[in-house]
Amino acid sequence: MVNDRQSLDLTPFARPPGGVEWRISQAPVPYPDSVAGMEARVADIAAGRASELVWLLEHPPLYTSGTSGKPADLIEARFPMFQTGRGGQVTYHGPGQRVAYAMLDLKRRRPDVRAYVASLEEWIIRTLDAFNVRGERREDRVGVWVRRPDKGLGHEDKIAAIGVRLKHWISFHGIAINVEPDLSHFSAIVPCGVADHRYGVTSLVDLGLPVTMEDVDVALRRAFVEVFGATSARLPEATI
């Protein structure tokens, strides 16, 4: 079933109150460090001490469990598991996956969580479109999906995950797009609680596209501007 968030008006999110800072971490960022960095930045944005921020990074191999996570969704503890305050269930993060943490002031943009999630989906969908990949929303499944008729009737694979948290109407956490992760690492969990055998996990490289992380970063930035508005340049650095 196609997600009815497709029909939401996303226009207000394309009129930001100012430029958005854009950062890229070159080395994998430990999960606790990323959460601490986001928490600090959210506090600064809420207090008017800092601009909004998009932070692009990769994590070392790990699992995170959101507010709807269940212990049974961890099949095998191959990597560390972190409890997190974001929405959603259990997911994997690791090298080859582009994580984009978005710290945006929704009070000034539009205080509508449902429309914000739809905007994140649209950001992913437009990014994938740059590589001629058709990403789609689903009403009964979180994230962005691609159809896989080569695997059988009704088969679809998840290519990107979404998990958000708000504090004082400042968003944090965000999206994760599978560029070239080790997909076998997803087999140790029930990804986002979806156990149906028709629904798997894929990546851009798994789909046969020789895409680099740098290619994805360019596409992410272009699509972000289309959905959320202009960004400001910032040289890559290791941490917030």
Active-site residues, by number, are 192
Maximal C-alpha separation, the chain:
52
Euclidean distance between CA atoms 161 and 148, whole angstroms = 17
Euclidean distance between CA atoms 8 and 114, whole angstroms = 9
Q: Which amino acid does the sequence have at 182?
A: D
C-beta neighbour count of 9 within 10 angstroms: 10
Give the alpha-carbon dihedral of 117, 90, 154, 133, to 10 degrees. 50
Euclidean distance between CA atoms 213 and 191, whole angstroms = 23
Residue ranges in 101-230 assigned as alpha helix (H)? 106-109, 113-129, 213-228
Euclidean distance between CA atoms 150 and 196, whole angstroms = 17
Backbone angles phi, psi at 111, to 5 degrees: -80, 70
Decide: helix, strand or coil at residue 115: helix
Tokens of 61: 């191999």
